[in-house]
Amino acid sequence: MFYVNCDASYRGGWAGIAYQSDQLESQSRLGECKNNGEAELRALLLAMSAAEQAKLRNVTFRTDCESAARPHRGESEHLRPLREAACRYLARHQPGWSIAQISRAENVLAHALARQARRSHDDVSVSVDSVVAAALIERAGIIETTEGRWRVAPDRLASSMGGALSAALLKLAADAASHAR
């Protein structure tokens, strides 16, 4: 079974959309979206397209967005084509493909990639090993609170979680580039 986490970061008509997986090269894109629901579905479709191109058979797409985790439900007419596209991907790859809802805490790497794309107004493509990335996030001092939220530990120098995640992603990208040489 392969796992592909997907997420979006939306603000003011722009969204970073991303997926993160050990089996695929993690990617993010920047695009215009009408709302967060559209951005989350676009992130799911980006992940599904990549998994289909890689010919992955047993895949669980994981998202922290309830509406993306249940594309067969929904009432918004403007999201109907995106929901239908997700359902077509699932139907084409049965049995084997599924979607699961996870917590934001379990989706921190995909969220960081999406947020980085939105903030930098650029696409990001890196190979991210979850174990290495988790260690970098821990080293950056990011902790989960009892409410399931993420923050920078008080004893760390990072001024914000976004800054710590960005630093971890930049380190991963630099490491990936140096290994490619």
Total domains present in the chain: 1
What span, in angstroms and rounded, lies between the C-alpha atoms of 67 and 64? 9
Query: What pLDDT, on a 0 to 100 scale, did the predictor assign at position 62?
Result: 95
Range of the domain at 73: 2-180
Q: What secondary structure does DSSP assign to 80-138, as a single string? A: HHHHHHHHHHHHHTTTTEEEEE--GGGGHHHHHHHHHHHHHTS-EEE---HHHHHHHHH
What span, in angstroms and rounded, lies between the C-alpha atoms of 94 and 178? 39
DSSP H/E element including 139: helix 130-139
Q: What is the pTM of this model?
A: 0.72
The pLDDT of residue 47 is above 90: yes
Closest CA to 121 of 13, 12, 8, 29: 29
Closest CA to 7 of 110, 109, 100, 150: 110
Q: Would you state the structure tokens that stand for residue 127, as one six-digit string?
A: 């190979």
| Region label for 74, one of left (φ > 0), alpha (ψ between -120 and 50) or beta (otherwise) | left
Mean pLDDT of 113-137: 66
Closest CA to 26 of 98, 106, 126: 126
**Residue 140 vs residue 52, higher pLDDT:** 52
- What's the CATH code of the domain at 153? 3.30.420.10
The pLDDT of residue 121 is above 90: no
Question: The dihedral of CA 105, 109, 113, 114: what is its sign?
Answer: negative
Q: pLDDT, tens digit, for every residue of 75-110? A: 889 999 999 999 999 999 999 999 999 988 788 888
For a pLDDT cut of 70, what percent of the chain falls above it?
A: 67
CB-based contact 39:46 (threshold 8 Å): no
CB-based contact 24:129 (threshold 8 Å): no
Mean pLDDT of 117-143: 62
Query: What pLDDT, on a 0 to 100 scale, did the predictor assign at position 1?
Result: 87
What span, in angstroms and rounded, lies between the C-alpha atoms of 90 and 97? 6
Band of pLDDT at residue 24, cut at 50, 70 and 90: confident
3-state SS class at 63 = strand
